[in-house]
Amino acid sequence: MTGPVLEAEGLTVHISTPAGELPLVRDVSLRVEPGDFVGIVGESGSGKTLTTRALSGLLPPGARMEASALRFAGEDLLTLPRRRRDSLLGTRLAMVFQDPSSSLNPARRIGSQMVEAVVAHERLPRRKARELAATRLEQVRIDRPAQRLRQRPHELSGGQRQRVMIAMGLMGNPALIIADEPTTALDVTVQDEVMTLLRTLNREQGVAVLMVSHNIALLSQVCNRIVVMYAGRVVESGPAAAVVGRPGHPYAEALMAVVPDLGMEAGRELPTIAGAPPDALAPPPGCAFAPRCPLAVERCAERPPLVALGAGHAAACWRAEERSC
Amino acid sequence: MLTVSDLVVAYPNGRVAVDGVSLQVGAGETLGLVGESGSGKSTTARAIVGLAPVRSGAIAVDGVDVVGARGERARRLRQTVQLVFQNPLLSLNPRMTIGQTVREAVGCAPPSPGLVAAAEAERLLGLVGLPPGVSDRYPHQFSGGQLQRVALARALAVRPQLLILDEVTAALDVSIQATVLNLIRRLQRELGLALLYISHDLSVVRYMASSVAVMRAGAIVESGPTQALYDAPEHPYTQALLAAIPTLDRAVAS
């Protein structure tokens, strides 16, 4: 495949509430190239999850999206007929959610859940699909795959369930895995296993990954690109090393400072981000981060555009250039 | 403050969840109890407050044996030791306002002259950093970090000397986690609390605790002063836990 795996321009998602329509994701542009491992980082309510739901066609009822462009695996999702779009997303896009126990059906066996999509979308015979499912389980290092297919989710541990979710995503030969906080519900060592698995799939099989997390330290270990979201907008994006090493936006810097670090002096007050994210009903007119920002100046009452700081690195801050040099 | 000796917790089905755990928390001190899901750390916490079946061993709170405590002894235990859980949405009553929840807990404390429950509840909610005027709101109207503050206010209502905090920040964003950790440390300083801080996250425990015990499969595999244990972990399991912490430094180096 040539060209990006996923390309979104001007993505906006509105949610209807009793108080009217709220734009919770605003003007987000995003690109995932083949082989990319892209991370989206932000606090709860930053719009990062809603963005991935919009990209994958899984918006909740009451949500409406618009975009000036939305392309996936070479197809235009905005004009593709519904059936073909569902079939494309159902096979080439894999979703991994935060809580594997609530995204697997507790009453059905692993095998029957795993084969569902390929039987529906690719009309694969059920027997062939089960063989494929066993191969995929093996690939995510689940032992005794044939036996696992007959088990139900409660018979597996949390880490195993998450690997089953990933294996399920691999059934359709995906071009992209979207993983939304895939390890938040898991122990640190299991988190390590799941991250290693995603990285292996990315490096060895070239599957692109788009991963959402609130922990920038976790993303910085696996991603080649990082996108920082705040109050529904992209405030910084760039190569992971640049965003981590020379952040252009004070919010990106603040997100790094709050991660407890083994090198930090124990017993010191942990850095925090003052204040709270803005009320979605009444976002501040200018830079949404300005009320919490230690570097805010008068000009921040006006919304800053994304300005380029280096190759593929941009930040939406009036002071980004002066800070990065 | 708390002394646990050779604690064994076994369920009626014969499963042994905690197998010979001993630990100590001095007054005003913090012990970090670290381990993964299923290691028995939460069961240990539950046994201390009488919520898990103790097969053998001793648990002394303030020098008083509390195993199988009933009646007055149990009441005194609950006033001395309070437990805060991971998910405040599940541990707070959704049909009570947070003011009612905290007032109810204030009513369980030993009576104190001149204390008005409503005013005390307001004071506690202020103490944990909630803005004034929120006491007639319901749990669903708060964010996760704020709810954890409510849970702390409720736990503090009976003026306990020991708080057991079971994965209290595991469900929170890292940015919110930092503010809750700072709050817990401030409360500890101001109120002279002893803490048993339970977590699977060694980077958080290092920040919170002066000493650490690492649990695996129902037993403590390594324990000691925090700095020493982090500088030279001896048990392979402790080493694995330390290696699994995502840090920014590692990323920049690679």
Mutate to test the interface with A, among B41, B149, B175 (most CBs of A within 10 A): B175
Residues of A in contact with B29 (CB under 8 A): none
Residue A274 in contact with partner chain B when CB distance is under 8 A: no
**How far apart are the C-alpha atoms of B29 and B113, rounded to whole Å?**
30
Residue A43's closest chain B neighbor by CA? Answer: B173
Q: How far is A244 from chain B (nearest CA, A)?
A: 8
Residue A261 in contact with partner chain B when CB distance is under 8 A: yes
Say if the Cβ atoms of A221 and B254 lie within 8 Å.
yes
Structural domain spans, chain B: 2-88+164-253
Given a cut of 90, whether residue B197 has pLDDT beyond it is: yes
Which is more confidently placed, B253 or A2?
A2
Helix, strand, coil share of chain B (percent; to 5): 40, 25, 35
Residue B202's closest chain A neighbor by CA? Answer: A262
Pick from A183-192, A232-241, A308-317, B93-102: least confident: A183-192
Q: Which residues contact A317 (CB under 8 A, 6 or more apart)?
A: A235, A236, A248, A249, A250, A287, A304, A307, A323
Estimate to the nearest angstrom the gap between the alpha carbon of A217 and the chain centroid.
15
Query: Span B188-203, mean pLDDT?
Result: 93
- A277-286 long-range Cβ contacts below 8 angstroms, 24+ apart: A277/A43, A277/A44, A277/A45, A277/A46, A277/A230, A277/A231, A278/A231, A280/A22, A280/A24, A280/A45, A280/A231, A280/A232, A281/A19, A281/A22, A283/A231, A283/A232
Given a cut of 50, whether residue B254 has pLDDT beyond it is: no
Say if the Cβ atoms of B203 and A189 lie within 8 Å.
no
Look at residues B169, B228, B235 and name the one whose alpha carbon lies nearest to residue B204.
B169
Number of A to B CB contacts under 8 A, please give it.
107
Pick from A197-211, A269-283, B35-49: least confident: A269-283
Query: Span A247-255, mean pLDDT?
Result: 94
The bridge status of strand A37-41 relative to strand A225-230 is parallel
Given a cut of 90, whether residue A65 has pLDDT beyond it is: yes
Q: Name the DSSP class of A91.
A: H
Enter the pTM of the model: 0.87
The model's confidence at residue A211, banded by pLDDT at 50, 70 and 90, is very high
**How far apart are the C-alpha atoms of A229 and A211, rounded to whole Å?**
13
Compare CB distances from B203 to A216, A240, A262 and report the shortest one's residue.
A262
Q: Check residue B249 and give its pLDDT.
A: 58
Compare CB distances from B247 to A245, A261, A272 and report the shortest one's residue.
A261
Query: Span A187-192, mean pLDDT?
Result: 82
Say if the Cβ atoms of B207 and A260 lie within 8 Å.
yes
Instruction: Determine the topology of domain B2-88+164-253 in CATH.
Output: Rossmann fold (3.40.50)
Given a cut of 80, whether residue B106 has pLDDT beyond it is: yes
Tokens of B239: 């080493």
What tens digit of pLDDT does each residue of A150-166 get?
A: 999 988 888 888 889 88
Q: How far is A59 from chain B (nearest CA, A)?
A: 22
Q: Which residues contact A70 (CB under 8 A, 6 or more apart)?
A: A7, A8, A9, A11, A55, A76, A77, A78
Q: Where are the beta strands (DSSP E) in A240-287?
A: none
Given a cut of 90, whether residue A12 has pLDDT beyond it is: yes
Q: How far is B156 from chain A (nearest CA, A)?
A: 22
Given a cut of 60, whether residue B149 has pLDDT beyond it is: yes
Compare CB distances from B175 to A218, A245, A255 and report the shortest one's residue.
A255
Residue A241 in contact with partner chain B when CB distance is under 8 A: yes
Q: Which residues contact B93 (CB under 8 A, 6 or more apart)?
A: B101, B139
Tokens of A36: 């990319």
Residues of B in contact with A271 (CB under 8 A): 178
Residues of A in contact with B179 (CB under 8 A): 272
Given a cut of 70, whether residue A203 has pLDDT beyond it is: yes
Residue A190's closest chain B neighbor by CA? Answer: B244
Q: Check residue A277 and give its pLDDT.
A: 84
C-alpha angle A87/A88/A93, rounded to 5°? 115
Q: Which residues contact B171 (CB under 8 A, 6 or more apart)?
A: B86, B87, B144
Residue B84 near residue B150 (C-beta atoms within 8 A): no
Say if the Cβ atoms of A192 and B175 lie within 8 Å.
no
Most confident range, picked from A224-233, B11-20, B239-248:
A224-233
Would you list which residues of chain B are within 8 Å, Cβ to Cβ, of chain A? 36-37, 143-144, 173-179, 181-182, 185, 200-204, 206-207, 226-227, 230, 240-252, 254
Tell me which H or E stretch contains B76: helix B71-80
Residue A304 near residue A227 (C-beta atoms within 8 A): no
Q: Within the 299-318 window of chain A, which residues sit less than 8 Å (CB to CB) from chain B?
A: none
Residue B245's closest chain A neighbor by CA? Answer: A188
Mutate to test the interface with B, among A218, A255, A272 (most CBs of B within 10 A): A272
The bridge status of strand A313-315 relative to strand A75-76 is unpaired
Q: Check residue A275 and give its pLDDT.
A: 83
Say if the Cβ atoms of A264 and B207 lie within 8 Å.
yes
Residue A259's closest chain B neighbor by CA? Answer: B174
Residue A188 in contact with partner chain B when CB distance is under 8 A: yes
C-alpha angle B165/A154/A58, rounded to 5°? 90
In terms of phi and psi (left: phi > 0; alpha: psi -120 to 50; beta: otherwise), the region of B50 is left
Say if the Cβ atoms of B241 and A189 lie within 8 Å.
yes
Q: Name the DSSP class of A226.
A: E
Say if the Cβ atoms of B252 and A254 lie within 8 Å.
no
Query: Span A176-201, mean pLDDT?
Result: 87
